[in-house]
Amino acid sequence: MNTVTTKDGTQIYYKDWGVGQPIVFSHGWPLSADDWDAQMSFFLNHGYRVIAHDRRGHGRSAQTDSGHDMDHYADDLAALTAHLDLKNAVHVGHSTGGGEVVHYLARHGQSRVAKAVIISAVPPLMVKTPANPGGLPKEVFDGFQAALAANRAQFYYDVPAGPFYGYNRPGAKPSQGVIWNWWRQGMMGGAKAHYDGIVAFSQTDFTEDLKKITVPVLVMHGRPDRAVCRFSPPVGKVVEE
């Protein structure tokens, strides 16, 4: 397997297909690089080099007992881009991965980056605070952690079967294959990483990070998303569906 070892000794698994301008994909919680397979195949067939990694504690990366925070996520992404010596890259992040991309750009600079895309992403902040009154109370995310600790396997079935893909919306037709693939990816990762990751994606404030970004960023953030966008105020124009 392709891996890169970070400065704290953590092995990060990654996929690297094709040649051309690189597109780097950062996945959502609690998934893996596999969640991007369809998009990677599409862009590979259109002449791009496509790269995706499993976040530490997720998928095939090392199941560390620490470092499950946005600083480490961004540093791990920087280690990957340096290892592959990527230049003029397009970074695409979904959900937690959108936070990872934003924090990477702010923390490590944009000299290797051409542009970015954040899709249904957690920035600027998900949890309710005086500055973010429209966010969710911390108790909601505490409930996520409690559900994960009590029965992770059931929780990882309920999330994609309901809000993650909008299958709980009237008229939606759930795909059991999609649901079980989500479950598979979640169960590949480590419980400790996923438990701590709930704090990372819900309580990290990306407001100052966003101010530092100078490369073009496409923001896709629609109200029908029941998993993230209803809880995190949009950083750009909201597109109605």
pLDDT for res 168: 86
pLDDT of residue 233 exceeding 50 = no
Q: In angstroms, rounded to a whole number, what is the distance separating the alpha carbons of residues 180 and 188?
A: 12
pLDDT of residue 120 exceeding 80 = yes
The count of structural domains within the chain is 1
230 located within any domain = no
Q: What is the dihedral of CA 98, 127, 70, 215, to 10 degrees?
A: 40
pLDDT for res 240: 36
pLDDT for res 1: 85
Mean per-residue pLDDT for 172-177? Answer: 95
Q: In angstroms, rounded to a whole number, what is the distance separating the alpha carbons of residues 98 and 88?
A: 18
pLDDT digits (tens, 9 = 90+) for 69-115: 999 999 999 999 999 999 999 999 999 999 999 999 999 999 999 99
What is the pTM for the complete model shown?
Answer: 0.93
Q: In angstroms, rounded to a whole number, what is the distance separating the alpha carbons of residues 37 and 53?
A: 11
Nearest to 52 by CA among 71, 73, 35: 35
Q: Model confidence at 223, in pLDDT bands (50, 70, 90)?
A: low
Phi and psi dihedrals of 95, rounded to 5?
Answer: 55, -120
Determine whether 172 is exposed, middle or buried from the number of CB atoms within 10 Å of its CB (0-12, 13-18, 19+): exposed
233 located within any domain = no
66 located within any domain = yes
Q: Return the CATH number at 149.
A: 3.40.50.1820
pLDDT for res 226: 55
228 located within any domain = no
Length of the chain, in residues:
241
* Domain boundaries, position 67: 3-220
CB count within 10 Å of CB 69 equals: 16
